[in-house]
Amino acid sequence: VRSVRIRWICGSLLLIAFPLIPKVGRIDSNVYLLIVSIIVWTVANMVVIRNLTLPQFVTRASILVHLLNAVNMLYIIYVIESNLSIPLRNRALCWIFSVLGLLMPLFTRNTIADRTLGLISGLSIPYTMLSLSYEPLFLLSFCLTLYGWLEAECLIAHGTLTFHSTRFYSSQKHTLSIGVQQTRQTWAFILLLLTSFFGTGNLATVSSFDPNWVRCFVASFSPFTMMALIILKLLIPVVLVVCTLRAIVIVTSVPKNKLFTLTLILCDVMCLNFFFLVRNEGSWLDIGTSISHFVIMQCTTIVVMMFYEFSRLITEWSFVDANTQQEGLPVSNKVRIE
């Protein structure tokens, strides 16, 4: 219990500092912070992979991918700082490692603990490649807070960390009604969801999107590819939040429909507040900021429900777990909790 409390407090204290830092895109890229972030993430991923229940081959391959990705990223940083063009082979390696990172979670067991850590480890690869400064450190603090939230909710519900053996498609009865606990979970979810959006940037202005984000992947101007990569970077923290929410729904046996109803009510209350704060005078930045806040809160519930359904795929399916399918049935026929 004490270790969970320490992780939760440390993650929260680290996370609250990032919204106060100047937004990425309005400050020069900090090479030293990026190098430190790559090294810290590599060490963290080594620790995570060693604690996962994986076949020996998958463990070694995952460690090798993270090490080679770190070496490739450090070399790219050296090339950029030397005012040289990034070699084609290094760009190709970035694409390969990104695809492997997106597929890596599917090679972990679909227990809640293993799959959650697998998602964090795998998605950190493309996120780091699309970063210029302190963003990987933000993601690390964010993931630490998410995992601490999952552990805390499990301890409150059961008094012990039962999710280490619970699977993402475990069959459980929803016996809880809406109360203070579910309201707290909803508020925490909305807070973390907004932090995932605004932790490192501002969606109100295009100037917050730095084209250098895609420097590891694209050599020339390619608007559709650049747009897809930028959207991928923005959605990675959101996917992690929604997957953590799904894990909490399973662990605490909360009806997801009631949880989404609470989310809708709270978002509507916040949306009403932002509606009265919409401005039609002043600078374009002020006008855009007020409108974006209103639109984001208006669309939050719909987007969350879409991502929640998408999270079924990336949390349930596994290439290495024989229990992914029950008695040879396809994935769509497994017992679900929803």
Q: Can you give the pLDDT at residue 203?
A: 54
Task: Report the mean per-residue pLDDT for the chain.
Answer: 82
Q: Quick one: residue 56, left, alpha or beta (phi over 0 = left, psi -120 to 50 = alpha)?
A: alpha
Residue 63 has pLDDT above 90, yes or no: yes
> Do the beta carbons of residue 311 and residue 243 sit within 8 Å?
yes
Helix or strand holding residue 219 (H, E): none
What average pLDDT score do residues 131-150 get?
Answer: 90
Task: Specify which of 24-38, 85-99, 185-199, 310-324 reaches the highest per-range mean pLDDT.
Answer: 85-99
Q: Can you give the pLDDT at residue 312?
A: 84
Note the helical H segments in the chain. 2-15, 31-51, 56-81, 88-103, 112-129, 135-158, 180-198, 223-252, 256-276, 284-316
What average pLDDT score do residues 290-298 get?
Answer: 81
For 143-161, the three-class secondary structure string (H helix, E strand, C coil) is HHHHHHHHHHHHHHHHCCC
What average pLDDT score do residues 119-136 get?
Answer: 91
pTM of the model: 0.86
Residue 223 has pLDDT above 60, yes or no: yes
Q: Can you give the pLDDT at residue 208?
A: 55
Higher pLDDT: 44 or 204? It is 44
> Do the beta carbons of residue 189 and residue 263 sit within 8 Å?
yes
Residue 72 has pLDDT above 90, yes or no: yes
Q: Can you give the pLDDT at residue 26?
A: 54
Count CA atoms closer than 13 A to 204's CA, side-chain side. 16
Q: Can you give the pLDDT at residue 331?
A: 39
Q: Can you give the pLDDT at residue 295?
A: 83
What average pLDDT score do residues 68-86 get?
Answer: 92
Task: Name the percent of the chain lying above pLDDT 70.
Answer: 86
Residue 114 has pLDDT above 70, yes or no: yes
Q: Can you give the pLDDT at residue 230?
A: 87
Lowest average pLDDT, out of 134-138, 274-278, 321-325, goes to 321-325
pLDDT band at 237 (very low <50, low <70, confident <90, very high): very high
What average pLDDT score do residues 226-245 get?
Answer: 90
Q: Can you give the pLDDT at residue 129?
A: 92
And the tokens for 30? Answer: 């900090």
Higher pLDDT: 311 or 293? It is 311
Count CA atoms closer than 13 A to 66's CA, side-chain side. 25
Residue 273 has pLDDT above 90, yes or no: no
Domain spans, the chain: 2-333
